[in-house]
Chains A and B, each alone.
Chain A
Amino acid sequence: MFGLLSGYFANDIAIDLGTANTLIYMQGKGIVLDEPSVVAIQQEGGPSGKKTILAVGAEAKKMLGRTPGSITAIRPMKDGVIADFTITEQMLKQFIKKVNPSRLFSSPPRIVICVPCGSTQVERRAIKESALGAGARKVELIEEPMAAAIGADLPVEEATGSMVVDIGGGTTEVGVISLGGIVYASSVRVGGDKFDESIINYIRRNYGMLIGETTAEEIKKRIGSAFPGAEVREMEVKGRNLAEGIPRSFTISSNEILEALTEPLNQIVSAVKQALEQTPPELGADIAEKGMVLTGGGALLRDLDRLLMEETGLPVIVAEDPLTCVVRGSGKALEKLDKGGVAIFTND
């Protein structure tokens, strides 16, 4: 009876409001939503007409780059923070409504939401406000490295150093955690989006072809790699030839993509090296023993762990189900919210 009641009233949720994907974790239910952070907006009756939301999530992502003049598909998050406040709020509202339909007597949910550790006060405030605007009763912010570490099942509360590298869509977060707190954290605005951008630029420069973001993402997922391997894979790509202005197809190899990704990958490597430099020696010794854990969608890039291993000389492991680490960690933090574990949350 008591459990039934608490299940009815407790509808607290954790959100990983990411640049690429938004994931929602619900207490007692697990991950209930995993959709791209994309909103399609329809403009009615000319430029001064009413704007309505046509689609959000996966449905809207299909429209990216394929919309007529009256529809715009927007990614309201950029570099891990809000680029368009109103659209983000609307998107959150739609997602929350999808997973938490309002019921009689049910109170608005408490929300734990992740923020990049490098985000400014203004950016954090914007995220908090948009969650409040989307109907939250109370909003707690948690820094992404902490959420990722909890989600990856690292011993965050023990007196031992754990290093986590969360490579998201917009940012890469490097954090060293010990005793339930962040000892060192840094954030670089390099992530999956930068990888896509680099691939687009590389193909334009070397092939004189223009490809879209969706195609670039597809190339990255299929043949992208961060370290030269024994096997060279190839893929046929279609794009528009810049000189002729006509769509053409061409073949690109994994080695070329590796070359294209060198620059953003180097930025990630230097962020990790910098974190290791800044880590106190005792914690550094723990990390040398255990290595670092990769989370986030970027961890799925082939041989990224190998690259970091070679560059740092430390063991690197990829967390299980790296895409959902952050939201699972936030969900665990949400459960600790009631048990007084507030140290893991950040103030504004």
Chain B
Amino acid sequence: MSEQEQNLRVHGPGAALKARREELGLDVDYVATQLKLSQRQIDSIESDRFDQLPGNTFARGFVRNYARMLQLDPAPIMADLESRLPHERTQAALPHVAEESSAFNLSSGSGSGGRWMVGLGFVVAFIGAVGAILWYLQQPASPELATSGAAASAVALETPPAIASDTAASDSAAATVASATTPAAPAALATAATPTPAPAATPTPKPAATPTPAPAVVASAPQGEGPVRLIVAEDSWVQITDANGTRLVGNLLKSGTDRSFAGTGPYRIKIGNAPGTKLYLHGQEVDLAPYIKNNVATLELK
């Protein structure tokens, strides 16, 4: 056994097997018949030319069978064989047929790249959704507060002539606006209603300038500057896109909102609750009736 190990160390597995075969007095022909291999294959094994065998898997099997036949312990021979086997190319992808068939087989699912794309898509969509929610939550609070002050000051500058000229007219206008807003906003009505007796008694522009009746003032004066103006009596989804594709607005406007939008015409407008919304272009009311379908008005303004 020690001789076998020595042979193995010095010459390799082939030489060890050959030495043992000769020791047992067997010829190559006999071994080939026993192992059902050709003499050429036995020669290849004995001279360590494993690249001439059909592949590493088979080389291992043949050597193991040979060792067993010669009543040798296969373990040390197999260990030594590993380092002498030719480097075999790894079985990479399956044939191209397989790749082509994946295009036809829909049920095979997307590849790993596709799966990651889907995953990334989900992450992006999630971040987008969170951003949208945060934006929406902040939207009614801060911009309105920021603009209401400006609007109030604008009103203070613009409205006095109208009120001074005819308080009764402005009174009635305020009343109509108030009545338009009332169904959805009783609070607005209350604030709008309370100051009315005061202007009626004293025909001064003070009430309009006082900050307390701000809702009524906001109702009568649009937020922002621009040719397109929206007066929303009932909560409505509104989307306005201008000629450049810029989205001027695209969210739910609460009842009582009066906003103007500036952009380059033509404007593509979609109003979710058209009957409860008034639309003005350059101060002129646009009749929404022809554009309404299932409460939704879709139109283009030039």
Which positions in A face B, CB cutoff 8 Å?
Answer: 9, 138, 150, 152-157, 160, 179-181, 286, 289-291, 293, 305, 309, 312-320, 336-344
Question: Contacts A289-B54, A314-B36, A315-B36 known; A336 to B94 CB distance under 8 Å?
Answer: yes
A315 touches B94 (CB 8 A): no
A1 vs chain B, min Cβ distance (A): 13
Are A157 and B95 touching (Cβ within 8 A)? yes
A317, B62: Cβ atoms closer than 8 Å = yes
Residue of B91, B108, B111 touching A156 (CB-CB under 8 A)? B91
Report yes or no: B55 in contact with A343, Cβ–Cβ below 8 A.
no
Known: A157-B94, A317-B65, A318-B61. A340 touches B54 (CB 8 A): no
Smallest CB–CB gap between A54 and chain B, Å? 38
Q: B102 in the interface, Cβ–Cβ < 8 Å?
A: yes
When C-beta atoms are compared, the residue in chain B nearest to A290 turns out to be B54
Please state if B62 and A315 are interface contacts (CB–CB under 8 Å): yes
Q: Counting CB contacts under 8 A, is B37 at the interface?
A: yes
Number of A-B contacts (CB under 8 A): 96
The complex places the Cα of A117 from the Cα of B246 at a distance, in Å, of 62
Q: Tell me if A338 and B111 are in contact (CB < 8 A).
A: yes
B110 nearest CB neighbor, chain A only: A338
Contact A339 B55 (CB under 8 A): no
Residue with the greatest number of chain B CB neighbours at <10 A, chosen from A156, A336, A339: A339
**Cβ of A292 to closest chain B Cβ, rounded Å:** 10
| Chain A residue with Cβ nearest B53 | A290
Min Cβ gap B296→A in Å is: 39
Q: Are A290 and B55 in contact (CB under 8 A)?
A: yes
Could you list which residues of chain B lie within 8 angstroms of chain A, going by C-beta atoms? 35-37, 54-58, 60-62, 64-65, 91, 93-95, 97-99, 101-102, 105, 108-109, 111-112, 115, 119
Chain A neighbourhood of B93, CB < 8 A: 336, 339-341
Closest to A140 in B: B108
Query: Nearest chain-A residue to B94 (Cβ)?
Result: A341
A312 to chain B: which residues have CB within 8 Å? 36
A316 to B69, CA, bound (A): 13
Known: A286-B54, A337-B109, A339-B94. 6 other contacts (CB 8 A): A160-B54, A315-B37, A315-B65, A336-B94, A343-B98, A343-B101
Name which residue of chain B comes closest to A5, CB basis: B119
A156 to B57, CA, bound (A): 12
Contact, CB under 8 Å: A157 / B54: no
Chain A residue, CB-CB nearest to B105: A342
In terms of DSSP, what is the predominant structure of the interface of chain A?
loop
**Residues on the B chain within 8 Å of A157, using CB:** 91, 94-95
With A180-B94, A290-B55, A317-B62 as contacts: A340 and B99 at CB distance below 8 Å: yes
B36 & A290 in contact (Cβ 8 Å cutoff): no
- B35 x A315 contact (CB < 8 A): yes
CA distance A231 to B201 in the complex (A): 127
Most buried by B among A157, A160, A313: A157
Could you say which of A180, A317, A336 contacts B61, with CB atoms under 8 Å apart? Answer: A317
The reply to whether B61 and A291 contact each other, CB–CB distance below 8 Å, is yes
The 7 closest A-B pairs by CB, nearest first: A317-B61, A341-B94, A343-B98, A340-B102, A338-B112, A290-B54, A342-B108
Residues of B within 8 A of A156 (CB): 91
Contacting pair A344 B98 (CB below 8 A): yes
| Chain B residues, CB < 8 A from A317 | 57-58, 60-62, 64-65
* Cross-interface CB contact of B58 among A291, A336, A340, A342, cutoff 8 Å: A291
CB nearest to B56 among chain A residues: A153
By beta carbon, the residue of chain A nearest B97 is: A343
Known: A291-B58, A318-B61. A342 touches B98 (CB 8 A): yes
26 sampled A-B residue pairs with Cβ under 8 A? A152-B57, A153-B56, A153-B57, A154-B55, A154-B57, A155-B57, A155-B91, A157-B94, A180-B95, A180-B97, A290-B58, A291-B36, A293-B57, A316-B36, A317-B61, A317-B64, A318-B64, A336-B93, A339-B112, A340-B94, A340-B98, A342-B101, A342-B105, A342-B108, A343-B98, A343-B101
CA distance A156 to B101 in the complex (A): 18
- The answer to whether A341 and B98 touch across the interface, beta carbons within 8 angstroms, is yes
Shortest beta-carbon distance, B59 to chain A, in Å? 10
Q: In the assembled complex, which residues on chain B have CB atoms less than 8 Å from the CB atom of A337?
A: 108-109
B54 surroundings in chain A (CB, below 8 A)? 160, 286, 289-290
CA of A138 to CA of B101, assembled, Å: 19
Complex-state Cα separation, A150 to B93, whole angstroms? 12
In the complex, A320 Cα to B54 Cα: how many Å? Answer: 17
- Give min CB distance, A256 to chain B, whole Å: 24
CA distance A204 to B111 in the complex (A): 57
In the bound complex, do residue A320 and residue B94 qualify as a contact, i.e. CB atoms below 8 Å apart?
no
Pick the most buried of A9, A155, A314, A319: most chain B CB atoms within 10 A of its CB.
A155
Min distance, Cβ B86 to any Cβ of chain A, angstroms: 14
Q: CA separation between A243 and B119, bound complex, in Å?
A: 70
How far is A344 from B35 in the complex, measured between Cα atoms in Å? Answer: 32
Q: Which has the most chain A C-beta neighbours within 10 Å: B95, B99, B111? A: B95
